[in-house]
A and B are shown apart, each in its own frame.
Chain A
Amino acid sequence: DAGVIQSPRHEVTEMGQEVTLRCKPISGHNSLFWYRQTMMRGLELLIYFNNNVPIDDSGMPEDRFSAKMPNASFSTLKIQPSEPRDSAVYFCASSLSTGGANTQYFGPGTRLTVL
């Protein structure tokens, strides 16, 4: 099992540029989550999808952030335009939501630096 795959692993960009982060969930999982981790704010939920449908995007900080899940095996998180305060590690996680379990498997993360 390949686990959750994220790309790129590291991204350095300049303020004002568009950034696209990519995630491939574990095959067969039907829930996908985007989190952001910073020293100041810890791990924060940004948005999540169940069966490719966005359920809760209340954690998305601003309209500059958008996320899509066009199919069960791919999701993107886009920041346009990027700002230095967006610098963080962005994690994607997936789960198979059957019964009462909510075991979420995290990817290795994308470390984003906005200069």
Chain B
Amino acid sequence: QQQVKQSPQSLIVQKGGIPIINCAYENTAFDYFPWYQQFPGKGPALLIAIRPDVSEKKEGRFTISFNKSAKQFSLHIMDSQPGDSATYFCAASRGRMYSGGGADGLTFGKGTHLIIQP
């Protein structure tokens, strides 16, 4: 069962455009929603994260929009640059009650391969 569904699988955007990547989740126990960026040959790196008590979070050129009732969240990249070309993963984890009081493991979407053309 895929608990976090991510779309699109791949995306090509011109420099300066605003790529949008969408994710939907099923498990209402999820309460932490990060986005990770991965370059070839590297491990994923945290980009930005949100909790369901807010509907939007911005960090630099990256924005997460969150819709709790629809169980959907999305990543927007403003003024995209060729250096943003990478694979992006949405993820989700549950609250501490499910993990013995510590951090919970992440459930990842399948990833979006983003190419920003110069």
Contacts of A50 in B (CB 8 A): 99-103
Contacts of B100 in A (CB 8 A): 50, 53, 55
Contacts of A43 in B (CB 8 A): 44, 89, 106, 108, 111
Query: 1/0 contact trace for A82-102 toward B, CB 8 Å?
Result: 000000000101010100101
B34, B44, B89: most-surrounded residue (chain A CB, <10 A)? B44
Contact, CB under 8 Å: A45 / B106: yes
A residues 19-58 with Cβ under 8 Å of B?
30-31, 33, 35, 42-45, 48, 50-51, 53, 55-56
Interface majority SS on A: helix, strand, loop or mixed? Answer: strand
**12 CB-based A-B contacts, threshold 8 Å:** A30-B102, A35-B106, A42-B111, A44-B108, A48-B105, A53-B100, A91-B43, A100-B32, A102-B49, A102-B93, A104-B34, A106-B44
Interface residues of A (CB under 8 A from B): 4, 30-31, 33, 35, 42-45, 48, 50-51, 53, 55-56, 59, 91, 93, 95, 97, 100, 102-109
